[in-house]
Amino acid sequence: MSKFYFLIIFLFFVNESSASIKDDIANKLSLINNISFNFEQNINDKIERGKCILEYPKKIFCEYDLSNKKILVSNGSSFVIKTLTSYYIYPLKKTPLDVILDKKFLLDKIRKSKNYYSDKNIVAFKFLKDENEINLFFDKKTLNLKGWQTVDLYQNLNIVYLSSIVFNQKIEKKVFNLPTSD
């Protein structure tokens, strides 16, 4: 009988501990207005690197370390990818970034999540919205967002890893103005 009580108490603490990490991640995310970071992006085994500024809700500016001067910008409603020779504009709501850049949606999903992956280094959440599947990864020790995995507009697997993360910096709002096609 005492083994039975031990098992119940053990399961309670395991569930409590799991809920705690989930709540801790949500609480930390709720305090973040913007994030600056370096990134490494892997799209179908093609690696690209650069720097981004993400501001909630739904704004991002990324400069890639590429000779074609690639940038990616969202002003909250539209999404542009521009290089020296190309210019693409999309409605943000048609991309997985619409979910990643929506802190209110993320907080709601994290708090309500019953199934997520956790190991000694990361905590991962999987979300579905419309036709988008998004996997978010958080560092288990710092609770920082470490990256995400999505399928992009062209059905390519896109994995993004974040590093050198800085929170709540002063940002010039004009950085999120969409570039022109020239």
Q: Where are the domains of the chain?
A: 2-176
Q: What's the CATH architecture for 2-176? A: Clam (2.50)
pLDDT confidence band for 152 (50 / 70 / 90): low
pLDDT confidence band for 19 (50 / 70 / 90): low
Q: What is the mean pLDDT of residues 124-142?
A: 90
* 130/94 Cα distance (integer angstroms): 9
pLDDT in tens, 153-182: 678 899 999 999 999 999 999 999 999 887
pLDDT in tens, 70-85: 999 999 999 999 999 9
